[in-house]
Amino acid sequence: MRYALHSTLVPGQEDAYERAHARIPADLEESFDRFGIHDWTIWRSGVHLFHLVEADDLDEAMRALESDPANVRWQRSIGVHLTPAAVDPQTGRPGSPSALPQVWRLADQLGEEAARV
Give the start-to-end residue ranges of the domains of the chain.
2-116
CATH class, range 2-116: alpha beta
**Cα(30)–Cα(51) distance, integer angstroms:** 19
**What pLDDT does residue 116 have?**
65
> What is the Cα Rg of the chain in Å?
16
Question: How far from each other are the two terminal CA atoms of the chain, in whole angstroms?
Answer: 27
**Cα(55)–Cα(44) distance, integer angstroms:** 21
pLDDT in tens, 39-64: 999 999 999 999 999 999 999 999 99
Q: Are 70 and 28 in contact (CB under 8 A)?
A: yes
- Average pLDDT of the residues in 79-88: 74
**Cα(13)–Cα(90) distance, integer angstroms:** 27
Give the predicted TM-score (pTM) of the model: 0.83
**What pLDDT does residue 11 have?**
95
